[in-house]
Structure 1
């Protein structure tokens, strides 16, 4: 792709890194090591999200247990959700497909398969196996090599927690943002100064390169420094709650933020932060537990090994129940308001 024909970033909004739902014990597709996909629940959850205003889905990111998914399952999963969204009237909701490979050719093959299945963007996890020995130049060249040949626009996925603490410097993001086929990043860390140095950088064309936080607990701060929104785990449980904060911010900016607007947004961000503590502590295990307990979708023990089994402590959910009951009431309130408007 030439520099004169830059790819376009995903539309601004709230995206969900969806969990991959697996067959429940007692069903024909179940086995205790690698239970099969549960596409019916996957679709139920996808439609639950987009009906609440979620702008798009990230399929097979970290929350989607991408490293445990076989190639043929990747195609089946993406294709089934693209078909479900299209048939339900949500053709405008893009699918971003994650990759979590170290080898460039494998990454490119995975991106090509994702496109064939219906994905519109690729979210590429940094190569962290040799993180302590990897230079910023090496990181830059790795992503550029992927982006040069990728059949989908590339988003850089920076998640030190699953990449051996690989660090991608803001200056490296500035260089990568100039690539015609690199259209944004997901920053799944809490380094606010680095987020600012990317999202507010005057050296980046922000019409071409969008900054998404991977942490809903950072949504309001990230919006104020130039980020476009979030790819957020809690939004997989309470989509309307997270979308509400995004909409409130953009509406208030358009008309002029009042003190009451600011107080309302701070309170909603506070409640989101309370819920995000479970996501931060347990990741996909906590997200699946919450979706199953709050909405009855899927199985809180529905991961693949070594994540199968859910919470080890049978009393763990009781520690979060009050917070999640409050968020559920907010979710139902915002959904009702949306339907009446």
Structure 2
């Protein structure tokens, strides 16, 4: 579990201008993140746009990341959905080869009860050959996995090792941190709340901005884990503007605009129903990357 303490990166899936998967840009992105000092990589999470990738494209993304990473960092694969039987079917050893854990989102759209969420993850835990990190993101799923449900799962299933908590609610995060077993990881799923959650006992973050500014964001997380509040605060306040910017028009449009301006990816294309960042947002991102501040 120490492998997933620190800074994880929720990788984008780069596209060419014709919207095909851009393998060369993905290769550069992996190398850039590794060189920037992040601790692990998350493949085909929400930021990777798996909902608009074919099965063949998803396999291409997995194969590319595994090949380029070459065992240097732990890898986490997004395996989730709102059809429990389909998620269980996807949790087979062959599909998970090369990965160290799975990140499984709480069922979306169906809006299950807390008991339904528990029963869903019970099946995930019973069928996963790899450790499981839960993912709570009510802004996308339409339902909130409450702390009591997470605590219940954490106490029952030893292979559920943590949660990516992205409710945007610090009080909920504190209740999780207070209630879960000591060896259960509460990982921030919100870049802006990473510092307070980590300082309160969290295990770090699965971040979006860390693939654009890996050295700076990783330094903030490490400072927080080490209890260096002065350094962590300074970095946090420096990063706040760019964190706001990348989510202003949705994810991953903002972070792809950052990566394009840094020449990490060839284009900032996303697939419909997402659209690329506006020229006005791109201009503000450019200003931040050049001088460290955003237009007000």
TM-score (norm 2): 0.91
1:104-163 CA-to-partner distances (Å, cap 9, x unmatched) read 2211233327744422211111112221xx221111111111111112211111111211
Matches within 5 A, 1:15-34: 15-22=8-15, 24-25=16-17, 30=18
Question: Aligned with 1:14: secondary structure?
Answer: strand
Question: Aligned with 1:303: secondary structure?
Answer: coil
Q: Distance in 2 between matches of 1:104 and 1:78?
A: 22
Matches within 5 A, 1:178-189: 178=155, 179-189=157-167
Shift of 1:54: 0.7
Tell me the equivalent position of 1:275: 242
The alpha-carbon distance between structure 1 residues 326 and 121, as it changes in their structure 2 partners (threshold 3 A), is farther
The alpha-carbon distance between structure 1 residues 46 and 137, as it changes in their structure 2 partners (threshold 3 A), is same
The alpha-carbon distance between structure 1 residues 189 and 295, as it changes in their structure 2 partners (threshold 3 A), is farther
Tell me the equivalent position of 1:215: 190
Instruction: List gaps (5 residues or longer) in structure 2.
Output: none
Question: Aligned with 2:218: secondary structure?
Answer: helix
Instruction: List gaps (5 residues or longer) in structure 1.
Output: 1-7, 254-260, 329-341
Q: Distance in 2 between matches of 1:14 and 1:320?
A: 22
1:233-278 CA-to-partner distances (Å, cap 9, x unmatched) read 1101000011111222233x3xxxxxxx533321211122211102
Question: Aligned with 1:147: secondary structure?
Answer: helix
Tell me the equivalent position of 1:298: 266
- In terms of mean alpha carbon deviation, does 72-81 or 52-61 score higher? 72-81
Tell me the equivalent position of 1:320: 285
Shift of 1:219: 1.6
Q: CA RMSD in A?
A: 1.9
Q: Distance in 1 between matches of 2:253 and 2:94?
A: 25
Tell me the equivalent position of 2:47: 63
The alpha-carbon distance between structure 1 residues 200 and 231, as it changes in their structure 2 partners (threshold 3 A), is same
1:193-250 CA-to-partner distances (Å, cap 9, x unmatched) read 110111232xx2232x211101121121011211110011110100001111122223
TM-score (norm 1): 0.80
After TM superposition, what 4+ stretches of structure 1 lie above 4 angstroms from structure 2?
none
State yes or no: 1:98 paired with 2:78: yes
Question: Aligned with 2:32: secondary structure?
Answer: helix
Q: Distance in 2 between matches of 1:195 and 1:53?
A: 26
State yes or no: 1:169 paired with 2:149: no
